[in-house]
Amino acid sequence: MAGTGFSTTFREESTNPAPLSNDLKITDIDVLPNTNIKTATITVEGGGAEHHIHVDAQGLLGISGQDTHMVTLTNSASSSVYENVLGTATYWNSADEPSASIFKIQFQVQDADDKQSSISEAQVHIDFICDPLVLLLDEPNTNYSTTFSELDKIPVKVVNSTSIHLSDVDAQKIVRGTVTVVGFQSHWQDSLQVLGADGSAMNSYQGVTISYENGQLSFEGEATLQVYENILKKVHYSNPNPCPPSLSVLLKFDFIDDCEAHNEPVYTNISIDPDNDPPTIDLDTTTSQDPLQLTYQFFGVENTNPQPLVLFERAALDDCDTMHSMEYLYIIMTEAGDLETNEEWLEFDLSGTALQVHDTSNDFEITYMVTPLPTAVVPPSDFQMVLRRVKYRNVARKPFETSRELTVRASDDTRTETASAILSMDRVPLGPTITLGK
Ligand SMILES: [Ca+2]
Ligand SMILES: [Ca+2]
Ligand SMILES: [Ca+2]
Ligand SMILES: [Ca+2]
């Protein structure tokens, strides 16, 4: 056969087989008496089930081995018939991971005198495609879901450890990967760890280094799919935060194989089973006094210039639970003896809020209850604003002899927190007064 060969490229997974010749010619120096050809073969050197040669015999020649690594044409025919038929030969490779990057396809014919031709070779270059690995977190399901209890705080596995499955048609190794808390913010306090059988956190496993930072668990190191599968079975989620900002945490899995293909992203959804915490109260964030010490100033024996006292202007009041947030605020003032409630009271500034105040004071107790207006939903920050603006006023002519005990109580629908303060009297002495006539 003539020619110096032919070179072509086949792209892996392509549905277009590559032609193996261009203007194929058969010549025979035995011009006479017989230029007919008897058989021809097209063979992939080395063979293998991944190879597929296809020839269109056009009904002119017998054919065997169609679409395999070796096609044989039979029947005696002129060299021009063989040229036409052999010229239709095409090649494709069905492997996801072809066994080499170049294959030699050999053409040979035999004439009527049973003389073999020389071998002419076509070269097929394989354009390799890196197929991504496939990660099933809960086979046959791609994704997984689980629940973390805020109350128990027991770390939970983030994959179904009895049915996780990793596969890859063209790589034996994974080189790195991450499990990421989607949209992570540091105050969420989400934690991802690889835990050993004894419950301790691991920072490496069979050549893979493990680290966690800012909501991302990272793996570095080339290892088999089996090693990575074993690691993923040990990944646990936990969160010490008593105030989960969301009742649902989404984890994204991204792993990269040894030809740099990423898996299609897969996800685990973690539902947070919340625990209701009581509201938190700090009557003055600048001091740790408990109870908080407050002072009301009387001016002279007669309390000649009664001024209101802002009681809790540096207070902090909150309830972080998303479902059971603060609903009531009580402020209660007591002392051992009777109170003259018509001479001392609390003043509230509710402006800018959807809150209302109920005064249920009696001779023994000055009591106020702050609640949302009917149907209103009020954030804890509005309760805090009202608490910071509460004023105490006393218009009695004589100072009280004992201190007042103040109780601040905040409640959600089931839990209550209490803080207390002592309000002492400070009589400011005034100088004597001279009156000249009336
Ligand atoms: Ca491939
Ligand atoms: Ca791959
Ligand atoms: Ca909580
Ligand atoms: Ca609560």
Query: 132-157 pLDDT, tens per residue?
Result: 999 999 999 999 999 999 999 999 99
Residue with the two structure tokens 């935060």 = 241
- Residue 2 reports pLDDT greater than 50: no
Closest listed ligand to the CA of 273: 3
**What's the DSSP call for residue 53?**
E
| Closest residue by Cα to residue 77 from 97, 93, 95, 62 | 62
Q: State in Å: Cα 100 to ligand 1 middle.
A: 12
Average pLDDT taken over every residue of the chain: 91
- By percentage, how much of the chain surpasses pLDDT 70? 94
Q: Is 80 exceeded by the pLDDT of residue 352?
A: yes
- Say which ligand is closest to the CA of 323: 4
Q: How far is the CA of 138 from the centre of ligand 2 (A)?
A: 20
d(CA 369, CA 358): 5
pLDDT for the residue numbered 289? 93
Inform me whether the pLDDT recorded for 339 exceeds 80.
Answer: no
From residue 240, give the alpha-carbon distance in Å to each of 55, 69, 171. 68, 62, 39
Q: In the chain, how many H helices and how many E strands?
A: 3, 32
Query: With 80 as the cut, is the pLDDT of residue 428 above it?
Result: no
Query: What structural domains does the chain harbor?
Result: 6-127 (2.60.40), 134-273 (2.60.40), 280-428 (2.60.40)
Q: Which ligand is nearest to the CA of 173?
A: 2
Q: How many whole angstroms from 242 Cα to the centroid of ligand 4?
A: 10
Whether 31 has a pLDDT exceeding 90, the answer reads no
Q: What is the pLDDT of residues 153-173, one digit of tens each?
A: 999 999 999 999 999 998 779
Expressed in angstroms and rounded, the spacing between residue 20 Cα and the centre of ligand 1 is 22
How far does residue 241's CA lie from ligand 3's centre (Å)?
8
The continuous run of DSSP H or E covering 230 comes out as helix 225-233
pLDDT for the residue 361? 87
At residue 375, what is the residue type? T
Residue 98, pLDDT score: 92
Q: Which residues are close to ligand 1, an ion, with C-beta < 5 A?
A: 96, 129, 131, 170
Least distant ligand from the CA of 412: 4
Least confident window among 153-162, 290-299, 393-402: 393-402
> Would you place residue 400 in the very low, low, confident or very high pLDDT band (cuts 50, 70, 90)?
low
For 93-110, what is each residue's pLDDT tens digit? 999 989 999 999 999 999
Q: Is the pLDDT of residue 236 over 90?
A: yes
Q: How far is the CA of 129 from the centre of ligand 1 (A)?
A: 4
CA of 313 to the centre of ligand 4 (A): 23
**Region 90-94 average pLDDT:** 96
Give the distance (Å) from ligand 2 centre to CA of residue 128.
11
pLDDT confidence tier of residue 341, bands split at 50, 70 and 90: low
Compute, in angstroms, the gap from residue 149 CA to the centroid of ligand 3. 10
Q: Report how far ligand 1's centroid is from the alpha carbon of 46 (Å).
A: 20
Q: pLDDT-derived band of residue 297, with 50, 70 and 90 as boundaries?
A: confident
Q: Is residue 368 scored above 70 in pLDDT?
A: yes
* Angle, CA of 289, 290 and 293, to the nearest 5°: 65
Position 172 scores a pLDDT of 78
